[in-house]
Amino acid sequence: MINARRAAPALAAALVLVAVVAALLWQHQRQADVAALLTQPCGPPIYKADGTAWACTFDDEFDGTSLDRSKWQVQTEFVSGSVHDGYACYIDDPAAVSVGGGTLHLTVRKTGTMRSCQGLPKPTPYIAGMVNTYHRFSQQYGRFEVRMKNTATVVPGLHEAFWLWPDDRYVKLNWPSTGEFDVVETYSLYPHVGLPYLHYGATDNDGWIKGVNTQWTCAAERGEWNTYTLEWDRKALTISMNGKVCLVNTAHPVAFAERYILNLTAALGESHNSMSDKTPIPATTLVDYVRVWK
C-alpha cells in the first residue's frame, strides 16, 4: 500500500508542474493570437457602429525596401510651389520617393541639377515626392486611413496632404463638380493643425466654409505621428484626426457617389505658405501605413 504522506508532496508537485505548463501554453497561444492580429491585412479588426467588422480592401505597411508598383504610381507630372519663391518638380527617383525602415519616404529637396518640368517657364533645382493609386485602386464609400509624420518646423514653405481624387475610368473629370476629398492638408505655416477640405459643386462652395467643407481646429502637431481617417457612406463624410472627429459633411452632392483613388503628397508651399531661405529643406514626410476598408 502507498504511503499517503509520501505521495502527497509528489502529487502537489505534479499539479504545480501541470499548472505551469498550462500557463506557458496559454501565454504562447495568446502571443500567437496577438501577433496574428497585428500582422493581418489592415491590422487588428475595427468595427462599425452596427457591430460588424470593416473588411480590408487595401493595405500597404511599407515593410519592404522598395515601392510596391502594383499598388502605387509615382507622380511625374505637375509641380508644387510658386513662381516667385520656387517650384518643385515631382519626379520618380529615390531622392524624392523611397521605402525603408517600415515607412514610405516622400521628400522635398534642392538638388544640384536644374531640370524642366511640366508647365514651368524655367528650370528649377527643387524636386518633390508624390504617389497615387491611379488605375490601380479606387473605391466608393468605406474607411480610409493613413498614419503620417511630417517635418517639425514653424517656418512656412512645406505642404503635405492625404487626398482622394475621382477615378477617371468611371467619371469624366470636371473639377470641382466631380469632387476632391482632402482628408488632411498640413502647412508648416500652421504647425499645430491639420486642415480637411472637401471640394464639390460647380463653384466649389465659393471657398472655405468652416464646419461644412473644412475645419481649422483639428489638432495635429507637426513632427509627430498623426492618424488621419475618413469614413464615407451614402449619408455623410466624417473626417477624424487621431481618433477625434473634426468634420462631418452631409451635403450629398453627386460627387460623393463616385469611386476615388488615393494620393499622398509632399510639396513646396505657395502664397502665404511659400518657401523662403529659412524653410528646412530637405524635408521628408514619413508614411507608416495606408489602409482602406469597406
Q: Is the pLDDT at 11 greater than 80, yes or no?
A: no
Residues 6+ apart with CB under 8 A from 240: 228, 229, 230, 231, 246
What global pTM score does this model have? 0.86
pLDDT of residue 124: 94
pLDDT in tens, 79-117: 999 877 889 999 999 999 999 999 999 999 999 999 988
Query: Taking the domains of the chain in order of start, what are their residue ranges?
Result: 1-39, 56-293
pLDDT of residue 54: 98
Q: What is the mean pLDDT of residues 220-247?
A: 98
Strand partners, 268: 158
If pLDDT is split at 50, 70 and 90, which confidence band does 10 have? low
| Residues pairing with 60 in the sheet | 290
Q: Would you report the helix, strand and coil content of the chain in percent, each value rounded to 5? A: 15, 40, 45
CATH topology of domain 56-293: Jelly Rolls (2.60.120)
Task: Give per-residue pLDDT as tens, 150-205.
Answer: 999 999 999 999 999 999 999 999 999 999 999 999 999 999 999 999 999 999 99
Rounded to 5 degrees, φ, ψ at 142 are 130, -165
Give yes or no for a contact between 72 and 133, defined as CB atoms under 8 angstroms apart.
yes
Measured on CA atoms in the order 81, 285, 294, 246, is the torsion positive or negative?
negative
Confidence grade of residue 36 (pLDDT, cut at 50, 70, 90): very low
Percentage of residues in the chain having pLDDT higher than 70:
87
Mean pLDDT over 283-289 rounds to 98
Averaged pLDDT for residues 10-18: 60
- pLDDT at 268 > cutoff 80: yes
**Average pLDDT, whole number, for the chain?**
91
How big is the CA angle at 187 (ends 243 and 164), to the nearest 5 degrees? 60
Which cell goes with 149?
A: 509624420
Per DSSP bridges, beta strands 180-187 and 103-115 are unpaired
Lowest mean pLDDT among 9-23, 148-162, 214-228, 274-288: 9-23
In Å, how far are 69, 183, 216, 222 from 225, measured between CA atoms? 25, 16, 19, 8
Q: Look at residue 238 in the predicted model and tell me its pLDDT.
A: 98
Please spell the DSSP secondary structure of 136-190, one letter per residue.
T--BSSEEEEEEEE-----SS-EEEEEEEEE-TTTS---TTTT-EEEEEEEETTS
In the block, cell 487621431 appears at 242
pLDDT in tens, 51-69: 999 999 999 999 999 999 9
Q: What is the pLDDT at residue 33?
A: 45
Q: What is the DSSP letter of 44?
A: S
> d(Cα 143, Cα 239) in Å, to the nearest integer?
10
In the predicted model, is pLDDT for residue 133 greater than 50? yes
